[in-house]
């Protein structure tokens, strides 16, 4: 099957209100014939400078060559506009990405494209480079909620920059719920091996996965697990599905509140996951929560560390999370070792192509 079949025709959600097309005045062939080649060249260059879009030139080339004048409009693209553009069946899949994570974004996107869910993906760009890069390749699929973060500091796990980066997640998710959409959030160091949507059974408010490595029986309960050593649960904030219910909104509000109560400090090097767990634990009897099956959504601490378990649960895995390991290069190597690093050989399957 052609790897391009999945691509819907690229069109711009912010359609240019002032199309300056040579075709709008008269037949271009006819008018060209009265110009000398030199005049024509000058005219063409002028048009390029003005940011005129030539649909008959290879789409990618023209996007690259006229990027500068046309990108500025993405600055004003709002989350509401973006969500209404990408949503399908009232559902969006979102991730939040800064520039250093683009290879992981692409890897994740290839795996989602294989499950035919890429059209509803919205990339929440944390810096302008990411916003422009994604929208240049895939118009309308990235949005930036200001302010943009400094991409140098934003990707160091455990740093204040990283905390600032992740602490905005529940706000974005709450906003999307308030717009009335179902939303799935994923970290981009994940790979889909199958379609997760059939696992979102019933009409619960919040669906999530456990980050504990202990093996559970296949028929484990879908309730929030009991708290662990730190007095709270170890649910992963890496993969969350929310319905636009008051219960789900309450969890997001509580998460935001919990994060304010426990701001980043050098000693604690907090990330957003404990706050998410406190929110779930405190609301467990008010909100309808649903724990997804471990065999389908294992933590990296199990999938990459227990070969026996992987063998026993063969064919049941749906989303693999490359966590319980720190560092870019190590993550890439591990994905590579397990045949889950798809960007080297399958980049053309991504809506972004090779980046």
Ligand X SMILES: *[C@@H]1O[C@H](CO)[C@@H](O)[C@H](O)[C@H]1NC(C)=O
Binding site for ligand X (CB under 6 A): 88-89, 153, 160-161, 164, 215, 217, 219, 221, 306, 308-309, 312
The region that residue 270 occupies, defined by phi over 0 for left and psi between -120 and 50 for alpha, beta otherwise, is: beta
- Minimum distance from CB of 71 to ligand X (Å)? 24
**Is the Cβ of residue 37 or residue 217 nearer to ligand X in the bound state?**
217
Q: Which residue has the tokens 């059209």?
A: 119
Residue 53 or 309: the one with the smaller Cβ distance to ligand X is: 309
Report the nearest approach of ligand X to the CB of residue 223 (Å). Answer: 9
In the complex, least distance from residue 222 CB atom to ligand X, rounded to whole angstroms: 9
- Residue holding tokens 């359609």? 15
Closest distance to ligand X from the beta carbon of 282 (Å): 24
- Residue whose CB is less far from ligand X, 63 or 149: 149
Smallest gap from Cβ 164 to ligand X, in A, equals 4
Task: Tell the burial category of 314 from Cβ atoms under 10 Å away from its Cβ (0-12, 13-18, 19+).
Answer: exposed
Q: Judged by CB, which is closer to ligand X: 29, or 308? A: 308
Residue with tokens 């500068």: 68
Long-range contact set of residues 65-69: C-beta below 8 Å, sequence gap at least 24: 67/132, 67/136
Q: What is the DSSP letter of 10?
A: P
Q: How far is Cα 280 from Cα 224, in angstroms, rounded to an integer?
A: 8
Distance between CA atoms of residues 211 and 234, nearest Å: 5
Q: Which is nearer to ligand X, 32 or 157 (CB)?
A: 157
Distance CA 15, CA 141 (A): 14
Contact 322, 189 (CB under 8 A): yes
Contact 300, 325 (CB under 8 A): yes
Q: Name which of 70 and 186 has its Cβ closer to ligand X.
A: 186
Minimal distance, residue 51 CB to ligand X, in Å: 33
Tell me whether residue 60 or residue 156 sits nearer to ligand X (CB atom): 156
Least distance to ligand X, CB of residue 218, Å: 8
Q: Provide the 10 A C-beta neighbour count for residue 12.
A: 13
Query: In a 3-state reduction of DSSP, which class is residue 184?
Result: strand
Classified as helix, coil or strand, 122 is strand
């Amino acid at each position: 099957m052609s790897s391009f079949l999945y691509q819907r025709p690229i069109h711009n959600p912010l359609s240019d209100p002032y199309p300056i097309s040579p075709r709008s005045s008269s037949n271009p062939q006819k008018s060209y014939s009265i110009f000398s080649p030199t005049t024509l060249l000058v005219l063409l260059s002028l048009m390029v400078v003005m940011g005129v879009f030539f649909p008959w030139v290879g789409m990618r080339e023209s996007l690259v060559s006229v990027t500068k004048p046309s990108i500025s409009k993405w600055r004003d693209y709002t989350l509401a506009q973006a969500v209404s553009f990408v949503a399908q069946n009232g559902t969006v899949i979102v991730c939040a990405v800064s520039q250093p994570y683009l290879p992981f974004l692409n890897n994740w996107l290839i795996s989602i494209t294989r499950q035919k869910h890429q059209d509803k993906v919205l990339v929440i760009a944390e810096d302008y480079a990411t916003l422009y890069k994604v929208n240049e390749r895939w118009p309308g699929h990235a949005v930036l909620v200001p302010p943009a973060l400094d991409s140098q500091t934003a990707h160091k796990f455990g740093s204040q920059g990283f905390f600032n980066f992740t602490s905005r997640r529940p706000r974005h998710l709450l906003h999307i719920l308030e717009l009335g959409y179902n939303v799935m959030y994923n970290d981009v160091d994940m790979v889909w091996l199958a379609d997760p949507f059939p696992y979102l059974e019933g009409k619960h408010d919040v669906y999530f996965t456990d980050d504990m490595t202990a093996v559970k029986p296949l028929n484990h309960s879908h309730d929030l697990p009991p708290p662990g050593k730190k007095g709270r649960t170890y649910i992963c904030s890496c993969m969350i599905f929310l319905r636009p219910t008051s219960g789900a909104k309450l969890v997001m509000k509580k998460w935001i509140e919990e994060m304010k109560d426990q701001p980043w400090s050098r000693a604690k090097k907090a990330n957003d996951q404990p706050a998410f767990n406190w929110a779930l634990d405190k609301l467990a009897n008010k909100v309808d929560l649903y724990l997804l099956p471990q065999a389908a959504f294992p933590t990296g601490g199990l999938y990459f560390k227990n070969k026996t378990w992987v063998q026993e649960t063969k064919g049941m895995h749906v989303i693999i999370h490359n966590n319980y390991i720190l560092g870019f290069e190590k993550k890439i190597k591990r994905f590579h070792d397990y045949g889950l690093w798809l960007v080297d050989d399958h980049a053309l399957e991504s809506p972004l192509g090779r980046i």
